[in-house]
Amino acid sequence: MTSKLALYNSASLTDLDKKYLWHPFTQMKDWMKEDILVIERGEGVYLVDTEGRRYIDGVSSLWCNVHGHGVEEIDEAIKDQLAKVAHSTMLGLSNVPVILLAQKLVEITPPALHKVFYSDSGSESVEIALKIAYQYWQHKGERKRTKFIHLAESYHGDTLGSVSVGGIELFHDLFRPLLFETIAAPTPYCYRCPFNLKRGDCGTKCLAELESILKRHRDTVAAVVMEPMMQGAAGMIDQPAQFMSRARELTQSYGTLLIFDEVATGFGRTGRMFASDHEAISPDIMCLAKGITGGYLPMAATLTTDEIFNAFLGEHHEFRAFFHGHTYTGNPLAARAALANLELFEKNHIIDSLRPKIGILSNRLNDFYSLSRVGDIRHVGFMVGIELVRDKKTKEPYSPKDKIGIRVIKRAREKGVIIRPLGNIIVLMPPLAIDEKTLERLIDVTYESIKEAT
Ligand SMILES: *Cc1c(COP(=O)(O)O)cnc(C)c1O
């Protein structure tokens, strides 16, 4: 059973890709002209292409890989499950791994979260959170509570509901007419403060603004949705301490729900298991995906409180159930991968082992300020954004025509490192299990690449 794969050489695969594929978030006109990288396998924190070249996976295969690639324990768990059943539906049935995983998720997430609703991607987990919040208020008889407040610069996924509560101009403006109306509260993007104030002596004016929005829409807000601590795809925007705590207090005092989208921050990324843990906060709803299976298989979860869950209980003919579910929801293979992932967190003391590595990142990132085009460095745990600017004094941004981010990552690729920018922001998101030496190498290459490309 030699696979058909073996018949193709690297050059013909490149041609076939360009003939048949449409890549996400990619200008295909540029893609057609480029030398593209086709990944054949992974080894630890390295990806290996069809030419046998090795690259450090500097963005954890889009922020989801935790322990590296080809980790025996996760591979074996998936194989073991494969020998039992690959998929069975959760509509009207249950399966072994999803039950055990739900128990585990409830144990490790903030204390008020007691119920787990599965789906397949981060976008869906947010879509589900919004629908649950909306339907919750309908059941409670507060029918006017239909509005969602989100942070202006935020990213919650690509489906129309999750785009509605997002706010990245580049991704979202085009689709405005298709989206439902939401209310944007200011983002604590302190490097480019919307109020022109300085972090530390601003009195966190953005929170005062959030409060006044809550006050104005007192009886009509279904929920506030935010990425706690670090707003990822919006450009790695780190929030001031106590920002999420205050958001929790405000949503409580104005009697509405708080949704934390921990799709990016969850599973160790911020240096704790969840961003919520840094300030011991329990949101009403939490969205998880990316790191949940260690980056092996697609899976997501939306967790809620008993209060929310109970509002959906009733007689069959009352139709209070939550009418939502995807075909592959609660896939047993993915759930087994997730269980193996969480076991490795414990066995390898991942959270504790991060501390010295986060220290290395902090120290070494300071050097980057000596580079003439580095305007701001934002760093929380194992999430890093380096904002490149044309002019440090005026903070003048590079124009999209400069393709500065792309230039930097191409340099890095020549040096054996895969990273991916967010516009003019260079992102570092290595797998949590990266060793210190490889981490140093990743930082060195990033430094040199920025220096050479700018
Ligand atoms: C990546 C991401 C999503 C979307 O997840 P997908 O699995 O890509 O749909 C949602 N929210 C946040 C904060 C993310 O980083």
Question: Would you state the structure tokens that stand for residue 401, as one six-digit string?
Answer: 């025509």
Q: What is the mean pLDDT of the chain?
A: 96
Task: Write the residue with the smallest CA distance to atom 5 of ligand 1.
Answer: 122
Is residue 305 pLDDT above 50, yes or no? yes
Is residue 222 pLDDT above 80, yes or no? yes
Class of domain 37-67+349-453 as given by CATH = alpha beta
Q: How far apart are CA 49 and CA 262, in angstroms?
A: 31
Would you give the DSSP letter of residue 7? G
Protein residues whose CB sits closer than 6 Å to any atom of ligand 1: 121-123, 126, 155-157, 227, 232-233, 261, 263-264, 289-290
Q: How far apart are CA 112 and CA 198, in angstroms?
A: 35
Confidence (pLDDT) at 5: 60
Q: What share of the chain in percent tops pLDDT 70? A: 98
What confidence tens digit (pLDDT) does each residue in 149-158 have? 999 999 999 9
Q: Which atom of ligand 1 is the closest one to the Cα of 227?
A: 13
Q: Is residue 240 within 8 Å of residue 201, measured between CB atoms?
A: no
Confidence (pLDDT) at 204: 87
Confidence (pLDDT) at 262: 99
Residue 347 CA to ligand 1 center (angstroms) comes to 27
Residue 103 CA to ligand 1 center (angstroms) comes to 23
Q: How far apart are CA 341 and CA 432, in angstroms?
A: 12
Q: How far apart are CA 64 and CA 61, in angstroms?
A: 6
Strand, helix or coil for residue 420 = strand
Residue 157 CA to ligand 1 center (angstroms) comes to 5
Residue 111: name the closest of 291, 280, 300 by CA: 280
Name the band, by pLDDT with cuts 50, 70 and 90, for residue 167: confident
Q: How many Å separate Cα 384 from the centre of its chain?
A: 13
Strand, helix or coil for residue 344 = helix
Is residue 168 pLDDT above 80, yes or no? no
Q: Which atom of ligand 1 is the closest one to the Cα of 290?
A: 7
What confidence tens digit (pLDDT) does each residue in 361-413 have? 999 999 999 999 999 999 999 999 999 999 999 999 999 999 999 999 999 99
Strand, helix or coil for residue 365 = helix
Is residue 173 pLDDT above 90, yes or no? no
Name the band, by pLDDT with cuts 50, 70 and 90, for residue 287: very high
| List of E strands, 108-243 | 113-119, 147-151, 183-185, 221-226, 230-231, 237-238
Q: Which atom of ligand 1 is the closest one to the Cα of 126?
A: 10
Q: What share of the chain in percent tops pLDDT 90? A: 94
Determine the average pLDDT of the residues in 11-34: 95
Q: How far apart are CA 65 and CA 74, in angstroms?
A: 12
Confidence (pLDDT) at 201: 87
The burial of 390, by beta-carbon neighbours within 10 Å (0-12 exposed, 13-18 middle, 19 or more buried), is given as middle
Confidence (pLDDT) at 3: 55
Is residue 52 pLDDT above 50, yes or no? yes
Determine the average pLDDT of the residues in 164-185: 87
DSSP letters, 35-95, are: PPP-EEEEEBTEEEETT--EEEETTHHHHT-SS-BS-HHHHHHHHHHHTT-S---SSS---
Task: Write the residue with the smallest CA distance to atom 8 of ligand 1.
Answer: 122
Name the band, by pLDDT with cuts 50, 70 and 90, for residue 169: confident
Fold match, 37-67+349-453 / 75-347: no
> What's domain 75-347's architecture?
3-Layer(aba) Sandwich (3.40)
What confidence tens digit (pLDDT) does each residue in 175-214 have? 889 999 999 999 999 999 999 999 888 988 999 999 999 9
Confidence (pLDDT) at 66: 98
Determine the average pLDDT of the residues in 432-453: 98
Residue 112 CA to ligand 1 center (angstroms) comes to 23
- Classify the C-alpha dihedral 125-126-130-131 as positive or negative: negative
Q: Which atom of ligand 1 is the closest one to the Cα of 154?
A: 13
- Please state whether beta strands 147-151 and 221-226 pair in parallel, antiparallel, or not at all (unpaired): parallel
Residue 114: name the closest of 255, 264, 307, 279 by CA: 307
Give domain limits for the chain.
37-67+349-453, 75-347
Q: Which atom of ligand 1 is the closest one to the Cα of 262?
A: 13
Would you give the DSSP letter of residue 272? S
Among 126, 290, 429, name the best residue to mutate to test ligand 1's pocket (greatest count of ligand atoms within 8 A of Cβ).
290
- Please state whether beta strands 221-226 and 257-261 pair in parallel, antiparallel, or not at all (unpaired): parallel
Q: How far apart are CA 152 and CA 124, in angstroms?
A: 20
Among 60, 120, 123, 429, name the best residue to mutate to test ligand 1's pocket (greatest count of ligand atoms within 8 A of Cβ).
123
Q: Which atom of ligand 1 is the closest one to the Cα of 157?
A: 4
What confidence tens digit (pLDDT) does each residue in 56-65 have? 999 999 999 9
Residue 354 CA to ligand 1 center (angstroms) comes to 23
Among 155, 164, 293, name the best residue to mutate to test ligand 1's pocket (greatest count of ligand atoms within 8 A of Cβ).
155
Name the band, by pLDDT with cuts 50, 70 and 90, for residue 1: very low
What confidence tens digit (pLDDT) does each residue in 82-95 have? 999 999 999 999 99
How many Cα neighbours within 13 Å face the side chain of 331? 20
Q: How far apart are CA 403 and CA 422, in angstroms?
A: 11
Task: Write the residue with the smallest CA distance to atom 15 of ligand 1.
Answer: 264
Confidence (pLDDT) at 6: 60
Among 25, 263, 269, name the best residue to mutate to test ligand 1's pocket (greatest count of ligand atoms within 8 A of Cβ).
263
Q: Which atom of ligand 1 is the closest one to the Cα of 300?
A: 7
Determine the average pLDDT of the residues in 161-174: 84
